[in-house]
Amino acid sequence: MTQSNAYIWLISIMVAWGLNVVALKVLVEEFSPVAMTSLRILTAGLVVLTVLALQKKWTVPGVKDFGVILLISLFNIVGHHYFLSIGLKGTTAVNTGLILGLIPILTAIAAVIFLKARLTLLKAAGILVGFGGVFLVMAAGSSGNIQIAAGDWYILLAAVTQAISFVLIKKISVDLNVFVLTGWMMITGAILLGGISLLTEPGGYQTLVQGEGYHYAIFFSSAFIATGIGHMIYNNAIRLIGPSESAVFTNLNLLFSITGAALLLGEPVYIGQIAGFALIVAGVLGGSGAVDHWFQRSKRSVHGH
């Protein structure tokens, strides 16, 4: 992958991730959410480790590294995917996609708290605007009326746990290759999710053999493309173009999830959700530090000339 084609890869991944929200909505309606999620993440983790083995980059983490993997996976895999699967049962795919769009803003807040990152006026304004957008989305609900579904709160918790995990990854030094870290986090998190399913979903795994053929096609597409290969490509591309530009692509993810939910699931899109989408996009660009970064870069280029 080169810097020039990294953008094409990123757009492709944003399409896959946006449509993955739609896929997960279909899957949680058919199967027990946590049981399905544990098996989906386990499959994705095996895909990542298989690719690494073929590239001769596969390694088994040591005891210290495994402790780090366990800690990060509690947030990045267990918390995020548990709340996401439970939340999707109680809200729409449109709302889910929009609320998850808050992750770059939540990551910026977590970076200020835990990494002592600088909070500029523009970042603060972006954060407020982004939260205003999410409030509009949640208030619009699934009927266009002023109501907040229980599932929306779970999706918000999914976004919070994901943001915390990103900061943990930055804060904790680990000697592992980022792809090895990703693969083992998925395996570890999937096992923990499996335990949660056994405790909270009696007979949950039995539902996994009751689907139609297209359910399994969706399941494996989600596991292989969106969750497994998708994360490997995303991590590689972001290293080439930088994290600030990635905020723009997060907004594409939002767009594809809303469009997919409307076209494929027939979910209505209300004016409150459209207004919320606009505010979240503006909030992500300001709150994630992307605009600050572009301003600084343009200043340097002006002074350089």
Rounded distance between C-alpha atoms, residue 245 and residue 269, angstroms: 28
> Distance (Å, rounded) from C-alpha 204 to C-alpha 35?
6
Alpha carbon 81 to chain centroid, angstroms:
9
CA 197/CA 207 separation, integer angstroms: 12
Question: Residue range 35-44: average pLDDT?
Answer: 98
Backbone region of residue 289 per phi and psi (left: phi > 0; alpha: psi in -120 to 50; beta: other values): left
**Domain segments of the chain as ranges:** 3-304
What DSSP letter does each residue of 72-103 carry, written as one string? HHIIIIIIHHHHHHHHHHTS-HHHHHHHHTTH
Q: Are 189 and 41 in contact (CB under 8 A)?
A: yes
Length of the chain: 305
- Distances, alpha carbon 59 to alpha carbons 74, 89, 170, 181, 223, in Å: 21, 37, 21, 10, 22
Dihedral, CA of residue 259, residue 261, residue 266 and residue 270, to nearest 10: -70
In 3D, which of 144, 54, 166, 161 has the Cα closest to residue 94?
Answer: 144
pLDDT tens-digit profile of 164-210?
Answer: 988 888 787 667 788 888 899 999 999 999 999 999 999 999 999 99
Task: Provide the sign of the torsion angle of the four alpha carbons 214, 76, 207, 264, taken in this order.
Answer: negative
Residue 118 has a pLDDT of 84
Amino acid, res. 85: S
Instruction: State yes or no: pLDDT of 304 exceeds 70.
Output: no
List, in order, residues 6 or more apart from 79 with CB less than 8 Å away. 157, 158, 161, 162, 165
Residue type, 303: H
pTM score, whole prediction:
0.87
Confidence tier at 54 by pLDDT (50, 70, 90) = very high
Q: How big is the chain by its Cα radius of gyration, in Å?
A: 19
Q: In this predicted structure, what is the pLDDT of residue 40?
A: 98
pLDDT in tens, 61-101: 888 888 999 999 999 999 999 999 999 999 999 889 988 98
